[in-house]
Amino acid sequence: MFRTRIVLLSAAFCAASPHMLTPVAAQRIAESGVVVPRYAEVADLVLGSPVVVDGQIRSAARIKGAEAADVAPGHVRYYVEADVLALIRAGSPMPARIGYVVDVPLDARGRAPRLNKRRVLAFARPVAGRPTMVQLTTLDSQRDWSAELDAMVRRIVREVVAPDAPPAVTGLGNAFHVPGTLPGEGETQIFVQTATGDPISLSILRRPGQDRRWSVSLGEIVDEGAGPPPRDTLLWYRLACGLPRTLPAESLSAEDPENARVAREDYRFVLDQLGNCRG
Residue 16: the pLDDT is 43
- Which residues, 6+ apart, have CB-to-CB distance to 190 below 8 Å? 172, 173, 175, 201, 202, 203, 204, 247, 251, 263, 266, 267, 270
Residues 12-60 have pLDDT tens digits of: 444 344 333 333 433 455 444 556 789 999 999 999 999 999 999 999 9
Q: Which of 10-19, 55-64, 242-251 has the lowest mean pLDDT?
A: 10-19
pTM of the entire predicted model: 0.85
**Domain segments of the chain as ranges:** 2-161, 169-274
Q: What is the mean pLDDT of residues 52-76?
A: 96
For CA atoms 144, 103, 141, 245, give the dihedral sign.
Answer: positive
In words, the CATH class of domain 2-161 is mainly beta
Answer positive or negative: Cα dihedral of 254, 268, 43, 48: positive
